[in-house]
Amino acid sequence: MSAKREPALSAREARARIDAASRRNAEIKGGYELVKVRRQGNSLAVTLDQKILAAADLHEGDLVQASVVHGNVLLTPVAVAPRVRQEVLDIGRRVVRENADVLDRLARDEG
């Protein structure tokens, strides 16, 4: 099943959409400049300036989920917590508890 593609926009229609999106951004966060989609290796990338990153509280290494909402690209920050099975945690706690004296001696020897 192929996705439907919207018909190509004229330059005037594209500019009108960009202007409308810019006005929405200005109303929401004080407005931003346009950024260019660039080739980076085999992918395309967008570079976000410090003003946008600060407004979104994004930092290098943060993970974001990309989606398209009403034709706009939306980047949503996500927190990823490591998944550790309860069984593994219980085993680790038991090993530490059963070997507490050895671990204490090792800690004293290191200091």
State yes or no: pLDDT of 44 exceeds 90.
Answer: yes
Out of 11-20, 78-87, 94-103, the most confident range is: 94-103
Question: Residues in the chain, how many?
Answer: 111
Please write the tens of the pLDDT for every residue from 48-90.
Answer: 888 888 888 889 989 999 998 888 888 888 887 777 788 888 8
State yes or no: pLDDT of 18 exceeds 70.
Answer: yes
| Average pLDDT score, the chain | 80
Phi, psi of 29 (to 5 degrees): -130, 15
**Closest alpha carbon to 71 in 1, 5, 2:** 5
Query: Are 46 and 53 in contact, with CB atoms under 8 Å apart?
Result: no
Q: What is the largest CA-CA distance in the chain?
A: 76
Whether this prediction's pTM lies above 0.75 is answered by no
- Per DSSP, helices labelled H in the chain are 11-29, 50-55, 86-98, 100-110
